[in-house]
Amino acid sequence: MTTFADAAVARLDGDERVIVETAAGFAAKKLAPFALEWDASNHFPVDELREASELGMGAIYCAEDAGGSGLRRLDGVRIFEQLAYADPAVASFLSIHNMCTWMVDKYGTDDQRSTWVPRLATMETVASYCLTEPGAGSDAAALATRAERSGDEYVLTGVKQFISGAGSSDLYVIMARTGEAGAKGISTFLVEKGSPGLSFGAQEHKMGWHAQPTAQVILDEVRVPAGNLLGGTEGIGFGIAMNGLNGGRINIAASSLGGAQAAFDKAAAYVASRRAFGNALIDEPTIRFTLADMATSLQASRLMLWQAASALDDDAPDKVEQCAMAKRFVTDTCYEVADQALQLHGGYGYLTEYGIEKIVRDLRVHRILEGTNEIMRVVLGRSIATRYRDS
């Protein structure tokens, strides 16, 4: 059986197809058989993540001279789609780790790159991204965590909220205020687990994403060497954080696409085998219409996502808008596809053993994180207003 997703992969060139097939093979063997078990037990599969890094998935689009894989963003979103087909929660965490690794590779000093990127690439060091705070979610420029210079160190005080990997990760990429109010006063720091004063809140009980831990990161006068200021310059942290999110947004969208594709395939197979009123459900016109709309939504999502990734690769003038548009459209649309797949299963879709309800739970948060979809509309609306006002 060849799906629309398979047909899209078949049209790739040889190297591109090998990258996708390698990710798909790893996901099918190392993630998919255990996804429901990890979800039920809240197990964080660090060993499997490190196995993924052996295939180059710990630093996908980082430079090869520092230990990265040197691939494109376009390759990255295709990889994350395949991983999320097996387990969206695990794929999403790996996307966050890659975002952190890229930030160090892109903005780090020579010493920071040579120290951290090789360890992040192998996932000997696992990283978490720390921007959101209890009082500063969508308004990230209003963050209150402070970093005060003290001789050859910085002293960090504050709380970060909803941090994936908190308590388990080895390195925390933390945005903190070193200067004036607003975006220009924010800097980025690399804080190691085990630093005195660094602690973590209780693990959050979440609707989905059970296979990755989420908690507060608490900084109580945490001292870090001045050399841990990412890029060696104060005041550039907000730009670092936002540029990191461009890639994070399309990666999370790719994770939505992979999960939704899996849900669609399960639903199509189910209605093909299920009989009602003397016929297979798939022979009912309304069922076919539903599947047709779902397949169209998936294909539109894939094309938009690939275009946004290419815009980021090409450093296109509209890359921010392209990534925001893809994040908004793909995460909304693919959540709807997953929910419709559950509906097609009827009561069975609500049972954990079929795996559909897990996908729905995991995909729901994608519409919130890496910038809520309402914020994506703000980004796009501002761009549209500026373009037409100035024309």
196-219: b (≥16 Cβ within 10 Å) or e = eebebbeeeebebbbbbbbbbbbb
* Residue at a domain's end among 97, 126, 155: 126
What is the predicted pLDDT for the residue at 1? Answer: 61
Reported as a single tens digit per residue, the pLDDT across 332-357 is: 999 999 999 999 999 999 999 999 99
Q: Are residues 346 and 278 in the same domain?
A: yes
* Residue at a domain's end among 101, 126, 151: 126
Q: Are residues 40 and 87 in the same domain?
A: yes
Query: 203 lies in which domain range?
Result: 128-235
What is the predicted pLDDT for the residue at 365? Answer: 98
Catalytic residue (one of 54, 321, 370, 374):
370
Q: Are residues 260 and 188 in the same domain?
A: no
Q: Are residues 119 and 153 in the same domain?
A: no
What is the predicted pLDDT for the residue at 18? Answer: 95
Q: Are residues 309 and 196 in the same domain?
A: no
Q: Are residues 153 and 209 in the same domain?
A: yes
Query: What parts of the chain have a pLDDT lower than 70?
Result: 1-2, 4, 391
Reported as a single tens digit per residue, the pLDDT across 36-53 is: 999 999 999 999 999 999
Place of tokens 């299920």: 274
Q: List all residues 6 or more positions away from 96 whose beta carbon is below 8 Å from its beta carbon.
A: 127, 128, 129, 164, 165, 248
Cα separation, 312 vs 325, whole angstroms: 13
What is the predicted pLDDT for the residue at 371? Answer: 92
Q: Which two tokens stand for residue 332?
A: 């909304």
Cα separation, 200 vs 186, whole angstroms: 22
Q: Would you call 370 a catalytic residue per the annotation? A: yes
Q: Are residues 22 and 103 in the same domain?
A: yes
What is the predicted pLDDT for the residue at 279? Answer: 87
Q: Which two tokens stand for residue 280?
A: 């297979």
